[in-house]
Structure 1
Amino acid sequence: MPSSSSIVILGAGLMGRLLAVELARAGHTVEVFDRGGPQAEHAAATVAAAMLAPLAESAVTEPNVVRMGQYALARWPALLGALEQPVFFQQNGTLVVWHRQDAAEAQRLRRVFERTHTALPGLPAPEALDAARLAAAEPALADRFTQGLYLPGEGQLDNRQLLAALAQEMQRLQVRVHWHTPREVGDFAPGTPGQPDWLIDCRGLGARAQWPTLRGVRGEVLRVHAPEVTLQRPTRLVHPRYPIYIAPKQEHLFVIGATEIESEDLSPVSVRSALELLSTAYTVHSGFAEARILEIATQCRPTLPDNLPAIRCSAPGLLEVNGLYRHGYMIAPAVLDAALEWLHTGASPLAERLGLHIVHTAAHAHAAPM
């Protein structure tokens, strides 16, 4: 494998930055084009809670995504440890609580988690908490809930710290980044004179011309500063209509979300959604009443028809990564390592083991691995 391949990456969201850093570290010449700036204001990765919760997410996703999340939990510490700028990372598990009227839905979730653990025994088993164990695990909720579920080993990170750290690392590795400079796949001809050896498209919804079935799924997230609230880990509240999550970051910053809407509307959050999120957070902890709202944001996640991620090689020298949907941070290391493996060897045993879909057409047979 030549150690000096030239690579152009389209899109500097989470996947674009991760790939740029790892390829530059491997000795390749990397150039990145993005329509936004270093703050990744157009990326779905900016509006996220960045929870790493494969067992919790098994209630709404497929087993292969859970396997990718399980792999990523073990991989994130090494990826973060290689960055010069620190990134908040926590692995204190996930707490699931519910009000009495939602006990039936909570029991259904518990059965889902137990089936997932049986199918993937590498995941820690869910633990039922009575009032005493719940109070010991999360003292701030001791007088508010009498039972819960604890999902050991799950984690979270600070998404915006990570995006900033990756931007700094790209600069340190002398990756040429062209901010506010959108480019299309058709602007390049990989492998021809004066062109990059490889083109990697990580633009999410910006790549719709190449993925006609790609759609956006709207998410709405609040960031609040709540000095009166202390939570030790991400907490999920069971609710029949909008199961809410509260992810505590550093210095009493909380990311609150729940909504998932089949819409590509990027207009501001509605009053109804904001009221539901805030009032439900208040039922978890009354200290949220005095919290200060720092931001109410919306973004659309790039989603393929099966709601699963995909890596595709549709032309010589072109690699496309898309469809990370709502699981971007949870599965990104698995997608990253599978893409790197395929680029370097032309195959990915990791993708096969995790059930990550890699499609390469007959046309690609003429393009050699890096």
Structure 2
Amino acid sequence: MSTLPFDHAHVLGAGLMGRLLALALARAGCAVDVYEAGGADAEGAAARVAAAMLAPLAESAIAPESLVRMGMHALERWPQLLAGLPAPVFFQREGTLLVWHRQDANEAARLAATLQRTQAAVPGLPAMQRLDGPALAALEPALAGRFAQGWLLPGEGQLDNRELLAALFAGLQAMPNVRLHWHSPRAPQDFSPAAHERVVDCRGLGAKPQWSALRGVRGEVLRLHAPGVALRRPTRLAHPRYPLYIAPKPGHVFVVGATEIESDDLSPASVRSTMELLSAAYAVHPGFGEARILEVLTQCRPTLPDNRPALRWLAPRMLQVNGLYRHGFMISPAMLDAAMQVLADQGDALARRFDLPILDTP
């Protein structure tokens, strides 16, 4: 029996947000039909390309305080969500390391000042820790002698995006009240939900025909296999033109990114972007010179005009969840919990806590 005021949900889109919501709805007792234009491997989803870093303070360089609060919520929620999945997912919280080359000290100082303002404004954020050369080498031996100083952002984390997508798929497959419809694109206008039904649209850029404010922001990402590099935590390089992140995954795989281009172009990565990412990674650690390039990936993140997410009632009983931009893994647990609260007719306390707009409420 459903614990929600409806017992049947149609979820459109099976990327990260669609899978999380479908599983939550099924566990609440709903019969759930999931419709996805692609296949079970999430090949067309932005989530498959992402680095899946959970770094609210680091992301505050470009993200507002509301998203920082969502990210803090997610850091505590992810272990709970992962514990309920039928397959293990790599997850760690060893902090984010910020480093810079000597010639970029001014950029690093500007970035550190921004992060310190966020830290002062958002209660509960752990204090940044300044590292001199020896402290940095003790924390991350692979970088010994390469940087004179750095910052540690304690408590931040990451997970393995592809393991998570696969584990969510397995979780949905195991639910007897879930039906998965692959290669079956659907749009909200294909449904006329009755009182006992809801339609939840999680299609990202696929929802642009119904949400014209959406735009794509292109990102290019590398996946490298580098047995000669032993970084233990996500590392960010401060740079005035192409700031870089390197996220270590299991098996000596590293996700390196990411460019950010105002375009919904999904063509292959440019030579320039690829060279910049590779050269920046090599400048962090020369071991990347012998790395093998596993993939050069391109994807567009679904983004609203203010670069913040939103919930929107497209019609009665039709809720859209969109605009996660480059922060999908960092904020999706907060989006999940806020959306489930709204769908359960339990008010908007979480949405207000996160300054998450609920648009066009009928």
Give, in angstroms, the shift of residue 4 of structure 1: 6.2
Instruction: Specify the code of the residue in structure 1 equivalent to 2:66.
Output: N
Among candidates 60, 63, 68, match of residue 61 of structure 1: 63
TM-score, normalization: structure 1? 0.95
Bigger shift: residues 49-58 or 264-273: 264-273
1:78 equivalent in alignment to 2:97: no
Cα distance in 1 for partners of 2:73, 2:6 equals 29
> Partner of 1:128 in structure 2?
130
> Partner of 2:14 in structure 1?
12
Give, in angstroms, the shift of residue 279 of structure 1: 0.9
Give, in angstroms, the shift of residue 143 of structure 1: 1.3
Contact kept, 8 Å, 1:4 with 1:27, in 2: the verdict is no
Instruction: Specify the code of the residue in structure 1 equivalent to 2:171.
Output: E
Instruction: Specify the code of the residue in structure 2 equivalent to 1:276.
Output: E
CA change 1:357–1:2 in 2 (3 A) is closer
Give, in angstroms, the shift of residue 346 of structure 1: 4.4
1:190 equivalent in alignment to 2:182: no
Give, in angstroms, the shift of residue 161 of structure 1: 0.4
| Runs of 4+ deviating beyond 6 Å | none
Please list the CA deviations of residues 145-172 of structure 1 after superposition, one character each: whole Å capped at 9, or x if unmatched: 0100100000000000000000010000
> Partner of 1:367 in structure 2?
none
Give, in angstroms, the shift of residue 121 of structure 1: 2.5
Contact kept, 8 Å, 2:4 with 2:344, in 1: the verdict is no
**Match runs of 1:65-144 below 5 Å:** 65-144=67-146
Give, in angstroms, the shift of residue 58 of structure 1: 0.4
> Partner of 1:306 in structure 2?
306
Cα distance in 2 for partners of 1:178, 1:36 equals 9
Q: Per the alignment, in what secondary structure is the counterpart of residue 96 of structure 1?
A: strand
CA RMSD of aligned residues (A): 1.1
Instruction: Count the aligned residue pairs.
Output: 359
Cα distance in 1 for partners of 2:20, 2:326 equals 18
Q: Per the alignment, in what secondary structure is the counterpart of residue 320 of structure 1?
A: strand
Q: Per the alignment, in what secondary structure is the counterpart of residue 14 of structure 2?
A: coil
Give unpaired runs (5+ residues) of structure 2: none
Instruction: Specify the code of the residue in structure 2 equivalent to 1:124.
Output: P
Contact kept, 8 Å, 2:6 with 2:197, in 1: the verdict is no
Instruction: Specify the code of the residue in structure 2 equivalent to 1:224.
Output: L
TM-score, normalization: structure 2? 0.97
Instruction: Specify the code of the residue in structure 1 equivalent to 2:161.
Output: N
Cα distance in 1 for partners of 2:360, 2:337 equals 17
Cα distance in 1 for partners of 2:79, 2:185 equals 32
1:352 equivalent in alignment to 2:352: yes
CA change 1:149–1:50 in 2 (3 A) is same
Cα distance in 1 for partners of 2:155, 2:355 equals 22
Please list the CA deviations of residues 161-195 of structure 1 after superposition, one character each: whole Å capped at 9, or x if unmatched: 00000001000013101000101111100117xxx
Cα distance in 1 for partners of 2:314, 2:254 equals 41
Contact kept, 8 Å, 1:3 with 1:26, in 2: the verdict is no
Contact kept, 8 Å, 1:3 with 1:27, in 2: the verdict is no
Contact kept, 8 Å, 1:214 with 1:305, in 2: the verdict is yes
Contact kept, 8 Å, 2:9 with 2:32, in 1: the verdict is yes
What percent of counterpart residues are identical? 64
Give, in angstroms, the shift of residue 345 of structure 1: 2.1
